[in-house]
Amino acid sequence: MLRQRPHGSIGGSRRATLAGVAGFKVPSRVGSILPRTRIVWFSVAVALLAGAASPPLAAPVSGDAVIRRPASGSEIVITTTSRLAGAIHSLTWGGREFIDSLDHGRQLQSASNLDVGGQLFNECFNPTEAGCERDMAGPTSTSRLLYLSTGGREVLTVTQMAFWLRPGQTSGGHTALNTTALSNHLLEKHVRIGAEGLDHAIRHAITFTLPADERHERATFEILTGYMPPEFDTFLRLLPDGSLEEIGPGPGEQPHPVILATADGGHAMGCWSPATSRTTGRPPTYGRFAFPAQKVVKWNCVVREQDKAGLATGAHPYLVYTAVGTREQVRTTLVTLREGVAAQAVAAPQEARR
């Protein structure tokens, strides 16, 4: 699997409430997405999961869903699958596929990488939404989908993530630090096409939940990554003045939003996040990578958290936007999103003074 993934305590009582354990909360903006009876059922399952061994599900949850919305004479269509425990398998627009979904790592998905006992090695404690390395191109995932609901242009999922490496496997000469194949780390995502009134914008509200019975000092949250077909071989970054600059395939991270486009500019995908690290206050970094031999390219959006006293268990929420369309449509969409957030930041203190 072509990861190029960046590196990245509460003990004792396991009491729970229906609202959540270890900081987990059922999303507040549920609307028609989550029926009330399912909220209660799901809260009980999560409460047990966050503080104790995983309870059995009454029945497998299907991860097969499709959401869509018109955009510039075409449709943005997003597909999730059971094979990937509800992770995004496909995103199409304008007659082109934007995701190279091969194994259980090449998707539009989220993951984390954390230290154990002060040791932090790439992929060695690496909960991953879609599944593990050993799942390969097979029909099932080691990750466990707990909930999925769709409504028009939106999909919401909650997944108990598999560790990328099985116990005993190695990465970069280091042995996996996890002792089980399935983690107790939860990944909740709420995806909405046509976000903030922009046809080409997709909003991804991502929440990582750290278990109450684990202690970590460092975490690298890959809020979102997209593995794309090799024809998206023009690598650009969005500068503060709204212009684009070619930067090449790296590999590596840098501070500006990344856009991957076809050579003719007819199709492109980019991302931007207003998130900041809760512990350092730093904004996210954006990576880009190319794997010519394997015929795939990748971008990601990353936030790092660190606290020598131990990272807070429970929910770690982040927001990221993607944009798909032509290169110019992606550029203008990301600029509009970024300027809108900046305007809100200026307006907030003024409202507070009134």
CATH, residue 221: 2.70.98
pLDDT in tens, 5-43: 433 321 222 222 223 333 334 344 433 444 433 443 355
| Closest by CA position to 212, among listed 46, 91, 86 | 46
pLDDT band at 126 (very low <50, low <70, confident <90, very high): very high
Provide the pLDDT for residue 343: 67
For range 68-96, the mean pLDDT: 98
Provide the pLDDT for residue 232: 98
| Closest by CA position to 88, among listed 223, 191, 184, 209 | 191
pLDDT of 154 above 50? yes
Does residue 208 belong to any structural domain of this protein? yes
Does residue 14 belong to any structural domain of this protein? no
Amino acid at position 287, single letter: G
For range 158-176, the mean pLDDT: 98
Strand 170-171 and strand 174-175: the pairing is: antiparallel
State how far the Cα of 22 lies from the Cα of 212, in Å rounded to an integer.
5
For range 137-157, the mean pLDDT: 97
Does residue 6 belong to any structural domain of this protein? no
DSSP 20: B
| Closest by CA position to 185, among listed 204, 218, 163, 217 | 163
Q: How big, in percent rounded to 5, are the helix, strand and coil portions of the chain?
A: 15, 40, 45
> What residues make up the domain containing 256?
36-353
Does residue 168 belong to any structural domain of this protein? yes
Domain count, the chain: 1
| Tokens, residue 193 | 């096409």
Amino acid at position 326, single letter: T
The phi and psi torsions of 36 (rounded to 5 degrees) equal -60, -40
pLDDT band at 344 (very low <50, low <70, confident <90, very high): confident
| Closest by CA position to 208, among listed 332, 107, 113 | 113
pLDDT in tens, 219-229: 999 999 999 99
For range 282-305, the mean pLDDT: 97
Provide the pLDDT for residue 135: 97
Residue identified by tokens 């486009």 is 261
Provide the pLDDT for residue 45: 45
Does residue 210 belong to any structural domain of this protein? yes
| Tokens, residue 351 | 């409202």
pLDDT band at 142 (very low <50, low <70, confident <90, very high): very high
**323 or 3: whose pLDDT is higher?**
323
Does residue 8 belong to any structural domain of this protein? no
Provide the pLDDT for residue 58: 66
pLDDT band at 59 (very low <50, low <70, confident <90, very high): confident
For range 90-118, the mean pLDDT: 97
| Tokens, residue 268 | 């492109």
Does residue 23 belong to any structural domain of this protein? no
Provide the pLDDT for residue 341: 79
Does residue 28 belong to any structural domain of this protein? no
**Mean pLDDT of the residues in the chain:** 87
> Is residue 148 within 8 Å of 160, Cβ to Cβ?
no
